[in-house]
Structure 1
């Protein structure tokens, strides 16, 4: 297998550490299909979605489907409900037969998806209680015109002459959903569940400084498409004091689309969380925003692509290590900004420390040290 080099990560696992993949997974999913939310105000959600760069494909009194320019299924499904919450991710199976094999193993039924989506699906429940769909043969939306990447004069290479560079300040056109990031109080159990049930494989592990012997506390996980490269992470998972959604990420054409789209969002009065910068694990150029319901969403471009020969890297988890360049990570991104959620976060920490899970006092000290680095 290929060495994990040049990626700001240590050289793989030590003897006895997590291998980063299951020996015999039930299925190997092909990609992330979409993410689902519940929100009380669909009109407000749609206004932000259009400013962020989505296109509406379905709008009813009870449901909103949002797509990117790539062909395929919608990126985001929002269902109307009394309170704001993340409902779960949907992963795309390679073929319908995988759904039946998965359903047989977990004691669930394969069902028809709504007509607006087409295809079939099976609903699972991960160890945190989150609903996870695996779908197949969903209706395929035709591709739409994209923002063309710009031509750049890099160094001494001249690719643009007698022409100006004027990216318009307009919504960045989302191309596709890239990944979703989740937090769990039972990180190892939940990670293993995704590896065993969906055939995902780890690109990078991170651990709290001084606690490597206790195992990782963060993982960036990709689909296994064999020799075909795929996103460095389709799912990322972190240990924390509550089971919850952290953010989801959506690809745009390039840095100009991302930055000009960010200025548009700012002009419209939306809340900027962190960016622009370039991540370490995954290498994406990133920019983070909060939607009106408080959900963190990311524009990204230029991410790493790995095939299944690349071994997991191991590195310490630090706040300063979240980016190669860009502004310092914000308290808002880390969930430490004083506000209405502060009391709830303190309550989550106390409840987690009292419960039977992986988030104990030593792990809490490790997490606090992350925020200080």
Structure 2
């Protein structure tokens, strides 16, 4: 074989055009750790603290969750799939995000992770857990051995007459105008001032792998500033991202996403939310990274949540795509992205966060980064 020709083929991006317009440059981040401690298999649930559980429950039902358990101080919500309940909300004075829980393949993996982290293994329901904190300071629990509730009844996806392959005859299409039925928790998006350290931690500790990287056009030499990470299930396809994380002047929750069965569920569920007086953040549209049909809303505590359908599934053979970060690069189609979604609405909180980030020399935020981020969000 001709060596230069073989080298040229090795350097080519075999996934060009598949899920990103660009491939990695020589020496850029590979998107996975060389030696993972464990490989988590899914995102289990998210935890929040909220002052009014009755109000939280009303929104949850309107959004399409099913109440799994309710006590005076705790609300647990689930979807229709046979999966762990996807939200746990505890009563507290101030509304806030309280952490993520991932699911390991086995209790042995939980113990291995605990040993690596120097943490204790704790009994947790029918299984075991280890409680950790990522480099951004966000609580992360990993569990295994938990019992799963049975699946619930839901409507089937609507059959569509597509081009030359119609499947529906003598049958009108009437999507129910009601709350969407959430099937499961799909992903969470986080912002952090310590992106690189947090990225390496999730790749090593939990064995996540990157589906797509975004970078700042003027600062590509500094590496990626956003990563869409999926579970490494080998030859089994996994959601394009279970965790997405980006560099920014604040640290914490950005939004979480919940799968529904089809586009009509996204659209009709959104109509139901609008009729109940809730505020749409952005949608309906289709993303680029992940390809999901999306619709974003604010709950009564201003937490952002997403209905989505038809997301990409990748097995472990795909390498990361690379693309520039920009507001215009968030969707294939849909309305213009809102300032609310971008988190760029001016206010005292934003100014305080910017000043705090600039004053902290242990993070990755400086004036050049903020300038590049502002340029990307205006693009």
Shorter-chain TM-score bucket reads: over 0.9
1:21 aligns with 2:26: no
Q: Which runs of 5+ in 2 are unaligned?
A: 1-9
1:11 Cα deviation after fit: 4.0
1:344 aligns with 2:352: no
Structure 1: which 4+ aligned runs deviate by more than 3 Å? none
1:177 aligns with 2:185: yes
Distance 2:162 2:224 in 1: 39
Distance 1:275 1:188 in 2: 30
Distance 2:222 2:25 in 1: 12
Distance 2:28 2:313 in 1: 24
Distance 1:7 1:289 in 2: 29
Distance 1:135 1:78 in 2: 18
1:8 Cα deviation after fit: 5.0
Cross-structure match for 1:77 = 88
Cross-structure match for 1:153 = 161
Cross-structure match for 1:362 = 368
C-alpha contact 1:205 1:312 (8 A) present in aligned 2: yes
Q: How do 1:1-373 and structure 2 match up within 5 A?
A: 3-113=14-124, 115=125, 118-337=126-345, 342-356=347-361, 357-373=363-379
1:345 Cα deviation after fit: 1.1
1:97 Cα deviation after fit: 0.3
- Deviation string 1:284-342 (CA, Å, 9 cap, x unpaired) is 0000000000100000100000011100011000101100000000111111235xxx2
SS in 2 for 1:210: helix
Q: TM-score scaled to structure 2, two decimals? A: 0.95
SS in 2 for 1:139: coil
Q: TM-score scaled to structure 1, two decimals? A: 0.96
1:58 Cα deviation after fit: 0.7
SS in 2 for 1:88: strand
Q: Which runs of 5+ in 1 are unaligned?
A: none
- Deviation string 1:198-241 (CA, Å, 9 cap, x unpaired) is 00000000001121111110110000011111000000000000
C-alpha contact 2:229 2:240 (8 A) present in aligned 1: yes
1:12 Cα deviation after fit: 2.5
Distance 1:84 1:205 in 2: 31
SS in 2 for 1:103: helix
1:134 Cα deviation after fit: 0.3
SS in 1 for 2:218: coil
1:179 Cα deviation after fit: 0.3
1:7 Cα deviation after fit: 3.5
Cross-structure match for 2:5 = none
Distance 2:351 2:18 in 1: 35
Distance 1:323 1:292 in 2: 26
Provide the aligned length of Structure 1 versus Structure 2: 367
C-alpha contact 2:286 2:294 (8 A) present in aligned 1: yes
Distance 1:45 1:178 in 2: 20
Q: State the superposition RMSD in angstroms.
A: 1.2
1:3 Cα deviation after fit: 2.6
